[in-house]
Structure 1
Amino acid sequence: MLVDLTFDRGSAMPETGGLENAAKLALTAFFWWRTDIQHEVCEAYWRDVHGIMFSRVPGLWQCRQLRLAANRPDLWPAVQGISLEAPEAAQPQGMSHGLFLSEADLAAFGRNPIAMETIPNDAHNFISRIGAQLSPPDSGRTLVDRINDPAMQGAPPVPTFVLCFVSRAGATSAETFHRYLTEHVARPWSGHPGVMRLRVEPLPPYEQSAMSSPGVAHQWPSDETYLGWIELAVRNEGVVGDLLEVTAADELGKQVRAVHTYPVREIYTIISAGRPTEVGLRGYPAVQTIIAAGADDQRGEAVLNLLFGDAVRGLDQLRPRT
């Protein structure tokens, strides 16, 4: 397991949910890879080329990349009126999740030339389509996290899924659906003993991507746009189906038109608690090589400050030096 630079060595590991819930704003971006490049190349480029650009821009509190597998409708019992299927072309292969402590931090991130120009202009090198949405302020919450790894790198230790919810057209307003998803789905589920981690992220109705990238399509690939998602980690896959026992199926059917269940194959944390991780600074292969060689001096703050300068300090770049 990789050691994260976000925290002082030897200090107690901060509680992940508390770190995440300190953030006011969340940005979710769904990605569809280019079809003319191998998916493995797209994923490696996303993490080790495109991803590390974010660690050079101050403002982000957390930045994670979630690699998604194909939709798993088999995990759920049938619920009348709810579709569990998703067309193959509409299924995203990746999702990034960024957190910002404040509007000011988001604005600082957006003003940086790397975020304004370099990152958007690079996206076409590995993705064909993007759909990015900024959640309403203070709406996303991590309700439980028994894994407590704020800088996860690689395969999750337990089965983990991104559950994406399509609301029933005309049934309720977005705000009502968000309250329902949080209070009547996510919160009861978070109390299940088999749930290891649960974060709920309401999304606004999709009109256009919050992130623009030249040469990349921004329209959603189908009419089933997501009005919210839940990150769910469980002791075993059987827990997923059991969760409906604590949810009123008739009300779920009135609110939800479809649920798409994407297994999370791998998670890479680029920034945690406002500071870049080692993976965010160097890229995953370099860090793995350093660990394999036992080159501990390459992981120290002194060397990293010399190599990466202010980027090592992350969010502290926004604050006056004393």
Structure 2
Amino acid sequence: MGDGKQFAGDTARPDEAPAAEPGAGADGAGTAGLENAAELTLSAFCWWRSDLPREVCEDYWRDVHGIMFARVPGLWQLRQLRLGANRPDLWPEARGVSFEAPDAAQPQGLPHGLFRSEADLAAFADHPMARETIPEDAHNFLGRIGAQLSPPGGGRTLLDRSDAPAVQGPPHVPTFVLCFVPRAGAASTEEFHRYLAERVARPWSGRPSALRVRVEPLPPYARSAMGSPGVPHQWPNDQTYLGWIELAARDRGAVGELLASTATGELSELVRAVHTYPVREIHTLIRAGRPTEVGLRGYPAVRAITAAGADNQRDEDLLHHLFGDAVRGLDQLRRRP
């Protein structure tokens, strides 16, 4: 995974791929509202198979495994976050808090799925693709998985100033997933969730240098909410996460300032460890209940269509002929008697 010292925002390659899909949904100003329309969140921490190159696992995840989700009604949004190595150097010292993570314990991928309601989650889970095909396919690239459902209404996007509603590729600004391990006995699960939301994420969302802030409370980890035959569900060590925050800031200096503002005594009292993963790439497969172009076709096809300027390939009738009702996504569910 390299030395992990590059920021995600430093690696954007706009000549290689579109930063966002044309016609992918509401403009950037509406992203928080769209995401906050969802009641339930699924966060799945993924570790790739050690016997395959990382690139093979990531491409399979996006272009083979991922597009199957876009054929199943029920998901409101689905993004795949490709994670870099933990960055302990970004934090100032905080008494009693560890910012280090063993290499084997660091996840490489984080699928982030939103469901508008329990009914939508049930419709997704009951579909044969989600119930059988997707779990049975996961062993082709996954070495381990730990998936968790956030408490209803718990996950919130507090800020999104981005102008890319359906990001495809490296983010254009430094973006991180920060995962928090609680200190044993210091607070209840509910108190810890309130701390992350109100004392960490909300103050960040009020800073001009912050561009995106989303907080995801997680239940104590016991068993993966998503399984796959032959893929272990056990966490690699005892430092399981009780919540994570997605943070994007205008530049690397702003990231350091935001983290420094949180390294207080309260952090030391409640938090045992924080792991800070750069987001190397984001791929949006479903947005507002409908598959994106990448969700329908896979990333290489969308990159070729964009490079060729082949706007005819985005015609709604053509897409329906190619993919059937899958292009309508959640609308399939709404029209059922």
TM-score range, shorter chain: over 0.9
Distance 2:155 2:132 in 1: 28
Corresponding residue number in structure 2 for 1:31: 46
Corresponding residue number in structure 2 for 1:286: 301
Distance 1:318 1:216 in 2: 30
Question: After superposition, where does 1:139-154 map in structure 2 within 5 Å?
Answer: 139-154=154-169
Question: After superposition, where does 1:44-63 map in structure 2 within 5 Å?
Answer: 44-63=59-78
Deviation at 1:191, TM superposition (A): 1.0
Given residue 61 of structure 2, which amino acid in structure 1 is its aligned partner? W
Q: What TM-score does the superposition give when structure 1 sets the normalisation length? A: 0.96
**SS at the partner of 2:137?**
helix
Corresponding residue number in structure 2 for 1:185: 200
Specify whether residues 256 and 313 from structure 1 end up closer, same or farther in structure 2 by C-alpha distance, changes over 3 A only: same
Distance 1:27 1:294 in 2: 35
**SS at the partner of 2:184?**
coil
Question: 2:108 pairs with 70, 88, 93, which one?
Answer: 93
What are the superposed Cα offsets for residues 203-257 of structure 1, whole Å, 9 maximum, x if unpaired?
A: 0000000001001010000100000000000111222221245437111111110
Specify whether residues 87 and 6 from structure 1 end up closer, same or farther in structure 2 by C-alpha distance, changes over 3 A only: same
What are the superposed Cα offsets for residues 96-143 of structure 1, whole Å, 9 maximum, x if unpaired?
A: 000000000000000000000000000000010000000000011100
Contact 1:188 1:246 (8 Å CA) reproduced: no
**SS at the partner of 2:228?**
coil
Question: 1:128 pairs with 138, 143, 150, which one?
Answer: 143
Alignment of 1:3 onto 2:21? yes
Contact 2:27 2:163 (8 Å CA) reproduced: no
Alignment of 1:76 onto 2:91? yes
Corresponding residue number in structure 2 for 1:261: 276
Alignment of 1:43 onto 2:61? no
5+ residue gaps, structure 1: none
Given residue 320 of structure 1, which amino acid in structure 2 is its aligned partner? R
Corresponding residue number in structure 1 for 2:8: none
Distance 1:261 1:139 in 2: 21
Distance 1:263 1:291 in 2: 27
Distance 1:166 1:12 in 2: 34
Question: 1:104 pairs with 105, 119, 144, which one?
Answer: 119
Contact 2:92 2:260 (8 Å CA) reproduced: no
Distance 2:305 2:93 in 1: 48
Contact 1:16 1:148 (8 Å CA) reproduced: no
Specify whether residues 304 and 168 from structure 1 end up closer, same or farther in structure 2 by C-alpha distance, changes over 3 A only: same
Aligned residues: 319
Corresponding residue number in structure 1 for 2:334: 319
What are the superposed Cα offsets for residues 263-304 of structure 1, whole Å, 9 maximum, x if unpaired?
A: 000000000010000000000001111222222111111100
5+ residue gaps, structure 2: 1-17
Given residue 84 of structure 1, which amino acid in structure 2 is its aligned partner? F
Contact 2:76 2:113 (8 Å CA) reproduced: yes
What are the superposed Cα offsets for residues 164-189 of structure 1, whole Å, 9 maximum, x if unpaired?
A: 00000111111110011100111011
Quick one: percent identity of the two aligned structures?
Answer: 71
Specify whether residues 245 and 85 from structure 1 end up closer, same or farther in structure 2 by C-alpha distance, changes over 3 A only: closer
Distance 1:246 1:26 in 2: 28
Contact 1:75 1:237 (8 Å CA) reproduced: no
Distance 2:29 2:135 in 1: 32
Q: What TM-score does the superposition give when structure 2 sets the normalisation length? A: 0.92
Question: After superposition, where does 1:171-320 map in structure 2 within 5 Å?
Answer: 171-247=186-262, 249-320=264-335
Contact 1:5 1:276 (8 Å CA) reproduced: no
Q: Which runs of 4+ in 1 moved over 6 A?
A: none
Distance 2:301 2:223 in 1: 36
Specify whether residues 244 and 45 from structure 1 end up closer, same or farther in structure 2 by C-alpha distance, changes over 3 A only: closer
